[in-house]
Amino acid sequence: MTSRVAVARPTDGNEDAVRSISLTDELFGKLEAKIRSGDLVPGSRLPTQKEIAETENVSRTVVREAVARLMAQGLAVSRQGSGMFVADTAEYRAFQITRDELNELADIVKLLEMRLGVETEMAGLAAARRTTADIGAIQDALQVMQDQQGDPVAAAKADTAFHLAIARATQNDYYARFVEFLGLRLVPPRNLYLRDQPAEAHKAYAAKVQAEHEAILEAIVRMDPQRARDAARHHMQESLTRHSMLSATARSKGRNG
């Protein structure tokens, strides 16, 4: 009788990490869906981590990470000595866009589609209601953005500050809170669109964005709401078009790869 010897195959640590993340995402999605659908009602006790691991055939580490994400998003709470429970306020949880959700181009396109309407009306209100102090704040952010064109991270921070200053100029706190909530997620990273492109391409891109921002600022300074809406919509549409085309190209390469 010939015996067969199992030979251990070396595993790639990165592949293991990616698989773990994928399993965590999948498990989190299942638990979230059960909570949102009412299968797990607010106040009900979640199965133990051991029970979930056995039922879903995943490791305890995957379960811990998925449950931790439920807690971070306000869907679950831990009660010492009693276990994990669905949060009483789970069905009213706040709207969230996590950093993890913006790793893919398709997700950035979705966010830009939403911002298209928000930013358009925000600019119009800012033009109608802005104060002299608001104009100064918008101009300062735009100047910093121009000065930091060679530093994508600093430029992105200044870009966010520019949009936040416009939000505050609406005199509507909800616009400001929304922009503050998005933070740096508001601005798609330049290197995502210009990966592997020469420095000249980065400079041209920065100059184009700067010109679009200046058009918005000029309309707000002139207190011209319609012109401000048009400029803001043009700026957002340009960004949406750029990233939509990039996303389509990525999908095409994925199919043909």
pLDDT of residue 3: 41
In a domain, 123, yes or no: yes
Cβ contact 202:190 at 8 Å: yes
Question: Tell me: the pLDDT tens digits for 158-184?
Answer: 998 999 999 999 999 999 988 887 776
Question: Can you state the angle between helices 152-169 and 132-147, rounded to 10 degrees?
Answer: 170
* CATH number, residue 212: 1.20.120.530
Host domain of residue 83: 20-92
Whether 140 has a pLDDT exceeding 60, the answer reads yes
Q: Are residues 199 and 76 in the same domain?
A: no
Question: 19-23, 89-93, 241-245: which range is least confident on average?
Answer: 89-93
Q: Residue 129: what residue type?
A: R
Q: How many domains does the chain have?
A: 2
Q: Are residues 251 and 180 in the same domain?
A: yes
pLDDT of residue 212: 95
Indicate the pLDDT class of residue 129, thresholds 50, 70 and 90.
very high
Whether 5 has a pLDDT exceeding 50, the answer reads no
In a domain, 4, yes or no: no
Paired tokens of 180: 């503050």
Cβ contact 63:55 at 8 Å: no
The Cα–Cα gap between 235 and 240 comes to 9
| pLDDT, averaged across the chain | 82
Question: Tell me: the pLDDT tens digits for 205-249?
Answer: 788 889 999 999 999 999 999 999 999 999 999 988 887 877 676
* CATH number, residue 83: 1.10.10.10
> Of 45, 61, 92, which closes a domain?
92
